[in-house]
Structure 1
């Protein structure tokens, strides 16, 4: 019987892993463990990347979390957040007026997480142009109602 170099527990001479601490006892076992850990990490990253839908575990455009966003994409996403939250805040300040409700919808429609949330029922995320179009329609309706009524 030999002892584990990590925990000093007694193990069989032919054991690949320590029964007490799980440390690999041979080079082949260590390589097998490394490969297993890498596969698990890739699976977790892929699951986090989809977030249960076709999103980016942060990215709304189908990118995995490890893929870097281009400067243009980062600018688009930041602009959508600013525009969406700004429109929603302005709309909430006008809430007693009827035109505020389409403005709230416009603000919510342009937010990047909405792309990820709509991806599952629609089968794929909305294109940026579609998001901008939905925003424009609701914003124009809301602004017209605010100024006309």
Structure 2
């Protein structure tokens, strides 16, 4: 039995082997073409299984959490008002976090930090995943206000 080395990983393989036993790389054009066809079939099955995407749907049938579950629907699918709300909450949330981090030695900064995190859209979705949806914007805005008011009060008291 003759041996040759794999051009990809340099492992010793049988001369008649179509794929490397170490890294799985195809060893001839025919094997490479077969692998390419297999990958295309798998990609088509995955695309067909996802139902073509779209919508703000929950988790897929397998129970996996998708990026759409965490980050929500694509920006193109949001109304102008929803896009404005999302941009505003990102600005408000990150600005609050920056202010809190610059004053981190003050105990009130920790409440500001929590408020900044609470208003961010991904937080709203992540906290809502266990209950099967997202928390209402108004609830998260209320939570933000509570944290910011308590944080500001601690700033002035201490």
Give the TM-score category using the shorter length: 0.5 to 0.7
Coordinate RMSD, CA, aligned: 3.6
Q: Does 1:107 align with 2:120?
A: no
How has the CA–CA distance of structure 1 residues 54 and 134 changed in structure 2, closer, same or farther, with 3 Å as cutoff? farther
TM-score relative to the length of structure 1: 0.63
Partner of 2:78: helix, strand, or coil? Answer: coil
Shift of 1:74: 0.4
1:40-90: CA deviations, max 9, x gaps? 4635668x974716954632xxx4x48611010000000010000000000
Count of aligned residue pairs for this structure pair: 119
1:76-123: CA deviations, max 9, x gaps? 000010000000000011111111010000000000110121122233
How has the CA–CA distance of structure 1 residues 128 and 83 changed in structure 2, closer, same or farther, with 3 Å as cutoff? same
TM-score relative to the length of structure 2: 0.60
Q: Which has the higher contact order (CA 8 A, sep 6+)?
A: 1
Unpaired runs of 5+ residues, structure 1, are 1-8, 10-18, 23-34
Partner of 1:132: 141
How has the CA–CA distance of structure 1 residues 75 and 95 changed in structure 2, closer, same or farther, with 3 Å as cutoff? same
Match of 1:52 among 41, 56, 65: 65
